[in-house]
Amino acid sequence: MNPAGQSLPPDLEYGAYARDRLAAMPPPADPEAFSLAYHLLQLAYLLVTDLETRIHRPRGWTLPGFRLMFKLWLLGPTQPVRLAEISAMSRSAVTNAVNTLERGGLVERLPVPGDGRAVVVALTEAGQEAVRAAFAEQALREEEWFAPLGEGEREYLTALLTRILRARPAL
């Protein structure tokens, strides 16, 4: 039960239970770090699953595929290695996503002038139309997800998450 006397959803109930159990354990158990990681992971999993099943899978791609197309939409033609760097994806994952999107007619590989081996990935006209439509739908869904937070809270949470990402341990 939460403080208002309402039952929690099972995932939050488990998170509270696990945090309480860890609080009774000696170090290195850190119930606050666990709770933060648990809630971030749970939110990320639910958000990815929701966006993917509601918006992206019906269009024939995954959320990572959409993320690549979105980056291409903003950046223009980009080398695959750069897409991997800014997407937290391996080069092989980028290659696989690009292959799928290319088969769907959404992206194309173009040679880099003056470098016979290098290519950039670019959105096709169909890809630009597809990413625009998916982005509009995803933006509305993101507003629904984050509606419980005010504008200042969203900015503050974003700043906190950015601070964690900047100071992240080496991978």
Domain 61-166 sits in CATH at: 1.10.10.10
Mean pLDDT value of segment 10-25: 94
Alpha carbon 134 to chain centroid, angstroms: 15
Supply the pLDDT for residue 67: 95
Q: What is the pTM of this model?
A: 0.87
Supply the pLDDT for residue 4: 64
83-126 tens-digit pLDDT:
999 998 999 999 999 999 999 999 999 999 888 889 999 999 99
> Band of the pLDDT at 141, cuts 50, 70, 90?
very high
Q: How much of the chain exceeds pLDDT 70, in percent?
A: 97
User: CA 88, 92, 95, 96 torsion: positive or negative?
Assistant: negative
> Band of the pLDDT at 157, cuts 50, 70, 90?
very high
> Band of the pLDDT at 1, cuts 50, 70, 90?
low
Mean pLDDT value of segment 7-26: 93
Supply the pLDDT for residue 117: 87
Supply the pLDDT for residue 6: 80
Alpha carbon 139 to chain centroid, angstroms: 13
User: CA 164, 166, 169, 171 torsion: positive or negative?
Assistant: positive
Taking the domains of the chain in order of start, what are their residue ranges? 7-59, 61-166
> Band of the pLDDT at 2, cuts 50, 70, 90?
low
Single-letter amino acid, residue 25: M
78-87: string of b/e by CB count within 10 Å (b at 16+)? Answer: bebeebbeeb
Q: Using the predicted structure, report yes or no on whether residue 50 has a pLDDT greater than 90.
A: yes
Residues near 112 by beta carbon (within 8 Å), at least 6 away in sequence:
79, 118, 119, 120
Cα(102)–Cα(130) distance, integer angstroms = 13
Mean pLDDT value of segment 44-52: 97
